[in-house]
Structure 1
Amino acid sequence: MPDPQRLAALRDEIAIVGVGESDYSQDYALARRGERYSDAYGYAATAFRRALDDCGLTRDDIDGLIAGPATASERLGEVLGMDVRWADQADAVQAVLKAAIAIHAGVAECVALVYGNDQRTAGTAYGGRDAMGGERHLAYTYYAPWGLTSQGALYALLANRYQAVTGLTERELGQVAVAQRAFARLNPNAVMRGPLHIDDYLSAPYICEPLRLYDYCLVNDGGVALIVTTAERAARLGRPAVLLSGIGRADHNRDATSLRPRLVDFYRPAQRTAAEQVYTMAGAGPSDVDVLQIYDSFSVHVPLALEGFGFCPQGGAGELLADGALGPGGRLPVNTAGGHLSGSYMQGWGHQAECVRQLRGEAGERQIPHARTAQYVSDVAGKVTSLIYRRADA
């Protein structure tokens, strides 16, 4: 069982002091024309350089490196010109957790979390028999006996069941895509910035019913980097810093390679456990969250997270969506850079950068006024994780 006292010792001790991202919109345009700009390591290097510039540190100040899953940490360190004493490999949310634990344990003091992915120009397969290495690597390919060899098929089945149980309508689900596109239109670096109205959503074709074109995430190239250090060192930098205040994690592993956790429970038991942990550690609750970022490879992630983490009653997400609460000017801004559906699909890494920018008041036209607390939520293959960030001066 998690130890609340040990977790409490981590609260506000770790700070994100630098963020950097590549030029998603520009690079997407190049990819559509068949003009390859870079590879995964090149995008990672661009983001890393910008993150260093953002916080005023140099490569020599970095003694830890965590590489995203599309690059190897050994090679990435070489490309970035680093000789760190501690390195690891992780996805977005696990990278933040591992960096926090490493710094707290004294293994490192300043860790770069760096992600690069050329998934569009490389033609990465996210569906089919050979999706990213097949069943040796991805749990969703275990669903092949049911003919479900893509994530889209899995989430379509989940969405069907969820609609049947809760009464969520297609129009209500469509408001997820509409709200995120409205934020993307305020983000000059977003990939999709054209207008999207609910009628546009409803007239789009099904990809796998009931999921339509705009329920699916983008596939684009890019890179993201975060510089993480101690709160004490962050204060000495004299620059805006964002503190990690809460951590929640709960896996739903029983029958993980069957359909039960998705279709029967909607991962709610794991969500409730992770929610209790993250809110207790942060000394906060859903009503304290100013900005919410939800992992959204598909739109249906959003209503599940809203209910699972207590932002609305179970079965109440549809009403929240219909009210326009999630978009610009709404009472619960979600995925304020456009999310994976319209902003950029950086597999959760961009969500961390957006949390930081919102809390530092640097999000431009999409800035949420007086943002002091941001939460990130992800549920992927039954692994539910949440982070709560807050301004250092909040």
Structure 2
Amino acid sequence: MSALGRIGAGLAITVAVAAVGRMVNSAWVMRKVAPPPAEPLAEPVAVAAIIPARDEQATIGRGVAALRAQRHPNLRIIVVDDSSADRTAELVAVQAAQDERVTLVRGEDPPPGWSGKVAAMAAGAHAAGEPEWLLFMDADGVAGPGLIGRLLAAAEATGADLVSSPGAMRPSAGASLLMPAAVVAMFEVVPPNRNTKRVLAIGQCLLLRRSAYERIGGWAALATSTTDDVDLATRVRDTGGRVLIVDATAELAAQGHDGFGQLWRSLRKSFVVGSDGNVPLLAAGAVVSLVFGLTPPLATLTGLARRNPKIAVAGLIGWAAQGYGHLLFARFFHQPAATALLAPLSWAALGSVLAASLGQVLRGTATWRGRSVTR
């Protein structure tokens, strides 16, 4: 075998070993996500659902309607229009006229030093009064009728102060190619239901005990945060509270990430924010993800073409391990199992998104909804 062949074989074997390790870790991590109780909480405790919305006319109507259909009897719905330039406020106003539980709050541009979303959530919490629970939801979330009751039951059963869940995604090219590797990588950095340096919560759905909200100092204590969900969970833990990640995907869906381009831009922003614009970290992540994703299929094809079983087997093992990790994601987020065959492309896509995030940081153009996402 030539020197180049030995390097290729070594890389294929290294990636295969890493893929198996990553697969085992993913299986272990995913099992840490708690199932929600089968029955909702029977007590009609007061809940205020708060949705910060900026230019969300495509999703806000369905999201508010889904909350209005909740079985939980003691519910207010507060939508904070965060200076939208589209029909977001108009669509919410229509539902507010139909249902006295719905309140539209006209937000303003955030005060100096405040993140826009955090300022909107603070305005919603202020308008809510003093319910026992605050439910912060993204504008693209669609809640099943039993969501709030089951989240409350999970909190009651475990004593949690903050209960959070991701939303299921409808099958799409973006969900199949962009999300699997991104979620695996996120769970590796901030694993669910683990007492690590930073604590995981998912901004799609955050049910927070009002007493815990007051104990942490409200959103004012996180005014500058651009990773508000993780920062919130970490502060709840640091002030003596308990955080629980549950799998409520049977009762919660995300409707805003169906388009490939929209999901790409959302992830690009998330990686800029999550890395705090760290150039070496983004560059290393891009290279490692691209190599990790592309090596198994290239090694498999090269090994078969050159009749080199060592390289081919290493490539197949790496591909299979990546595929099983992808399958865990597909089951969790209600995606087709067949998309597991695309696992190497998912990791390559993650590398591409990280590279795009790096480009935004270097150019100083990292924005979301017309606002800068860097501190």
Question: TM-score interval w.r.t. the shorter chain?
Answer: under 0.3
Query: Which structure shows the higher helix fraction?
Result: 2
Query: Which structure shows the higher strand fraction?
Result: 1
TM-score by length of 2: 0.27
TM-score by length of 1: 0.26
**Greater radius of gyration (CA):** 2
